[in-house]
Amino acid sequence: MSKNRVTRRQFLNYTLTGVGGFMAAGMLLPMVRFAVDPVLQKKGESDFIATNQKVADLTTEPTRVDYSFEQQDGWYSSEETGTAWVYKDENDKVVALSPVCKHLGCTVNWNGDKANENHFYCPCHGGLYTKDGTNVPGTPPIAALDVFPTKEVDGFLHLGKAEPR
């Protein structure tokens, strides 16, 4: 007889340890996967957000474009909305400006003040911006409006993340 013979007690210990370990792994792996899932998620191919605005319909007059997108914050997903002021410049290039005032963050409107036609106007403290988003000296805003990168996909406007100039 071999000296390495496994006793019945050892056999039961090995078997129970193996089966127990297998079952524990089966319960723990989904939990671990759930805990780290947001970290493992691939980000989208692009950070551009689709809008319902047809590029062909844009004119030289700034148009308010509202859009919505899904925001993922860890495990929490929510529907967010945003706005851009969009027009075509004299070279037919699409310009998309953030509506967030660079003074204290109110929302600017195109032609929002009758006394200042063809300007973006912030009603909170009378901030003014020219059509290209430049802040008018002597009014509260300290910088130009942020600009969205844009692209056209199947005729529709897509907006990137607004950036300062």
Pick the binder of ligand FES from 82, 112, 140, 160 (CB under 6 A): 140
Output 151 or 165, the one with its CB closest to ligand FES.
165
Angle at 159 between CA 117 and CA 129, to 5 degrees: 25
Interface mask (CB under 6 A) for ligand FES, residues 45-64, using x and -?
A: --------------------
Q: How far is the CB of 114 from ligand FES (least distance, A)?
A: 17
Mark the segment that binds ligand FES (CB under 6 A) among 9-17, 68-76, 100-108, 149-157.
100-108
Q: How far is the CB of 42 from ligand FES (least distance, A)?
A: 38
User: Using CA atoms, how far apart are residues 71 and 88, in angstroms rounded to an integer?
Assistant: 29
Cβ-based burial of 67 (10 A; exposed 0-12, middle 13-18, buried ≥19): middle
Asked if 47 and 160 count as a contact pair (C-beta separation under 8 A), the reply is yes
101 is a site residue for ligand FES (CB under 6 A): yes
When asked if residue 104 is in the footprint of ligand FES (CB under 6 A), the reply is yes
DSSP 56: G
Q: List strands edge to edge, sheet with 63-73.
A: 63-73, 76-88, 94-97, 147-148
Task: Name the residues that contact ligand FES, by CB under 6 A.
Answer: 101, 103-106, 122, 124-125, 127, 140-141
